[in-house]
Each structure stands twice: as C-alpha cells, then as structure tokens.
Amino acid sequence: MKKDIPKNGETVILVAGGTVEPEFIRRVFEEAEMPALLIGVDRGTIAILEAGLEPSRAIGDFDSVDTAQWERIRALPHVEKLIPEKDDTDTEHALRYAISLAPKKILMLGCTGTRLDQTISSIGLLKQATDAGIEAYILDANNRVRVVRDACTLRAADAFGTYVSVLPYGDRIEHLYMKGFKYPAEDLSTDFSVSLTVSNELTAKVGEIRCDGYCIVVESRD
C-alpha cells in the first residue's frame, strides 16, 4: 500500500471507531480514486487491520482499545497518540490532518453508529472540508452525507440510494431550490423543526440543489 503523503487528486479515507464492517472498508478502498490513503482514527485502526489493510497513519488517544489491540496499533510505522484531555475529538483531529494533505476527496467511515452525539458531531465537521474546497462525505452501508455550500448537483448515474434529504446546517435553511426531484422546491425557507425536506427522490438525470449558505445533503437507502 502507498504510504506517502498524497498529492492533489487523490483520496483520503478516514476510518473512525463507529459501526463499520471490514468488508465495507475493503470495498470503499478498492472503489476509491487511487492512490488512496487510509487513516485509522482510534478504534477504527483495528477495523482497518481486520479488513486486511494497513493504515498509512493511526491517530487517536486510543482509550477505546484494549491492551492487545494497542500493541497491534503501536507496531504500525506512523502512529500519532493524542492525550485524552483535549479540546477536540479524535475524528476532528484526523480530519484536520486529512485536510492539510489537500486531497481531492475525503471519505469518512465509522462515523455513524450507536453514539448519536458522535454521529451529529461528525456531520458538523464536514463543513471544515467544504470550506477548504475539498469534497467530503460520511459513508456507511445505508447513507452518504455531505455538507454543501450554496449549490451542488446529483447525477442519477452516480446515485447512492433512493432517497435524498436536504437539511439545514444549523437552525434554518434559506432560499432552497431543488430541480429534478419528485418534490421540487422554489425559494423555500424552513427550519430544523420541520421535516418538509426529508425523503425526496431524484427523477431527472441531473438534480440541482441551491440554497443560501450551507445545507446537509443525505442520500439514503433502506
């Protein structure tokens, strides 16, 4: 596996400690634009190893691994051990490192699961990549999530799932336009307390989404 720092145009895959199957990690890695750099985030490092792959870097305080797992991690060539008493999560620290490499795309796995607080926080972190001009997604077996600034397009040929939801990043979404969807929107403004923009469907070959500022776009399948 390539262990050099990637140049522009490559993919960085972060694997955090949430719910993720080894087979899913392998599939995402094999389908990614190559060469791809794998970064293990805390317990996600073990998930990478169990997928039969080796991370180019492991980052975390590793307080969620047992002694045997830590011995496997510490034997890796590049390990950045953080102190538990810090002002960010392991995932945010790893994402900032990934952004510093200036890849074309960042894919974040293991960011969903039983810890709802961690899931919500990780979705919020996507804005950092958006602001850096990097295409970034949280992926699991049923969802592909990104934070969009101003506009994006969805292509039917690249669709992840049946359903498309557009949610506010923050309290409100302002001046939302959606074209090419089953339920189009024309200058719609709404807030997070309303489910109006959940579970839409792409009906055209290309769908357009525009809003003022930021929004969260979630593509889902059952």
pLDDT tens track, the chain, 222 positions: 344 444 555 899 999 999 999 999 999 999 998 889 999 999 999 999 999 999 999 999 999 999 999 999 999 999 999 998 888 999 999 999 999 999 999 999 999 999 999 999 999 999 999 999 999 999 999 999 999 999 999 999 999 999 999 999 999 999 999 999 999 999 999 999 999 999 999 999 999 999 999 999 999 998
Can you say how many angstroms the Cα of residue 219 is from the centroid of all Cα atoms in its chain? 12
Whether cis (ω within 30° of 0) applies to the bond prior to 35 is yes
CB 41 within 8 A of CB 135: no
Q: What residue spans in the chain does CATH classification 3.40.50.10240 cover?
A: 11-141
Question: Where in the chain are all domains bearing CATH 2.60.120.320?
Answer: 148-220
CATH class label, 148-220: mainly beta
CA distance 158 to 165: 16
DSSP H/E element including 117: helix 116-131
Buried b (16+ CB within 10 A) or exposed e, 101-123: bbbebbbbbbbbeeeeebbeebb
Q: What angle do CA 106, 202, 160 make, to 5 degrees?
A: 35
CATH number of 11-141: 3.40.50.10240
Write the pLDDT tens digit of every residue in 8-43.
Answer: 558 999 999 999 999 999 999 999 988 899 999 999
The pLDDT tens digits for 71-80 are 999 999 999 9
- Amino acid making up residue 123: I
